Amino acid sequence: MTLSTSPDTTTTTDVISHPSLESSEKSFASIDERQRKPKAFSEGHDGDLSSQFKGWMGLDEKSVDGALEFQSFQPKKWEETDVDIKITHCGLCGSDLHVLRSGWVDQTPILPRIFDKFQGPTEYPCCVGHEIVGEVVRVGTKVKKDIKVGDRLGVGPVVYISYNGIFPNGCKSNGGFANYCRVPGDSTILIPHGLSSSAAAPMLCAGITAFVPLSEHGAGPGKRVGIIGIGGLGHFAVLFARALKCDQVVAISRRQSKKSDALKLGADLYVATADEPDWAVKYAHSLDLIISTVSSSDMPLNDYLNLLRTKGRFCQIGMPDDPLPPLEVAGLIERGISIGFNDIGTIKEVEEMLQFAVKEDIKPWIETRRMKDVNEVLKEMGEGKMRYRYVLVNED
């Protein structure tokens, strides 16, 4: 396992490359961390970058199979509350694939949809990506936050119009598979020193989605926590649960294939449900909190719930396309089991998480790839090859 170093804006090592990638040509630490000096507009400058906005656009539902096309697009009309950001990094999230294939049509999507304008299928062309990190090149005169040209900012799904949405002024939004983004300055997040851009990017969605329910539901000393699904979300949940000093962190997956990784991430115990026929009985009533990160509705939900102790809590953060299985309610009532859900977090919570990640030296397992290789990366992600997050890097 190798640690990537950071010669530019960071002071610590904070990314772990998956062991299978140690000698891979797909790891671009030098691209990821080198100093960038974008051409900058000063605060209040009337220069307009709109003609320079280009991104990898999905043109139809088949684009999810690796058929994005690089095109110019029109950003939202500039307002003095906005900032323009030159994108250096953008994480790849499972919800990007859902949006590209126009999934979640009959459900509330992962991004809040203001005024119900976005319900229904994806509107193409669409540029996705909501784990954005980059450098500020223009700041509006009415931005309330203390943001300066050259600052390193994050843009996550807490910006409710990351992509496939409509701003209040009627402009369509686009995401981070692009060279620039324009967003309201007060909804951005300053990336702290000590955290590289490649590590910060996936924390803006996957990281905060895992962190908030752990924090809200008291994960820490005295608590035994189970994490269902060891993928992009699950690997963050294990990392954070361990950093929160839970008494026991139990990783739960179908097969043994991720056992080694889960233990290296910090799990104390690994349960392979497809390989251990008696797992539901063996580990019954043993956990205080379960975070389910899986996005499949085909799950043994009632067996999972039976793993909880009296007054235990189950929180679903993965978003399946189809409804969850029916509940066997009687036993849940008798034991006082609570079931809840979580969708990302507030800007304040993201800021707190990033500071926690620096303090606890959280090292996500990522693979950095060139932005121009996004179609290849989409195919690999669709094939389940991601271990455990992809981060796209603009080279210029």
Higher pLDDT, 108 or 391: 391
Q: What is the pLDDT of residue 169?
A: 63
Confidence band for 47, pLDDT divided at 50, 70 and 90: low
* pLDDT at residue number 84: 97
Q: How confident is the model at residue 95 (pLDDT cuts 50, 70, 90)?
A: confident
SS3 readout for 120-164:
CCCCCCECCCCCEEEEEEEECCCCCCCCCCCCEEEECCCCCCCCC
Tell me the C-alpha distance between 51 and 49, whole Å.
6
- Residue 7: band (very low, low, confident or very high) from pLDDT cuts 50, 70, 90: very low
pLDDT at 114: 34
How high is the mean pLDDT of the chain?
A: 86
Lowest mean pLDDT among 112-116, 237-241, 267-271: 112-116
Let me know: does 250 contact 226? Beta carbons within 8 Å.
Answer: yes
User: For position 17, what pLDDT does the model report?
Assistant: 56
pLDDT at 37: 45
Of 26-35, 260-269, 379-388, the range with the lowest mean pLDDT is: 26-35
What is the pTM (predicted TM-score) of this model? 0.85
Q: Give 393's strand partners.
A: 89, 370
pLDDT tier, 120 (very low <50, low <70, confident <90, very high otherwise): low
Helix axis angle for 208-216 and 347-359, nearest 10°, is 90
pLDDT tens digits for range 220-232 = 999 999 999 999 9
**Taking residues 120-127, what's their average pLDDT?**
85
Strand partners, 152: 135
Encoded amino acid at 290, one letter: I
Identify the band that residue 98 occupies on the pLDDT scale cut at 50, 70 and 90: confident
Digit-coded pLDDT (tens) for 265-295: 999 999 999 999 999 999 999 999 999 999 8
DSSP code of residue 323: P
Segments in 323-373 forming alpha helices (H): 329-335, 347-359
What pLDDT digit, counting tens, does each position of 326-361 carry? 999 999 999 999 999 998 899 999 999 999 999 999
Share of the chain above pLDDT 90, in %: 71
CA 347/CA 254 separation, integer angstroms: 34
Ordered structural domains, the chain, with CATH? 2-202+345-393 (3.90.180.10), 205-341 (3.40.50.720)
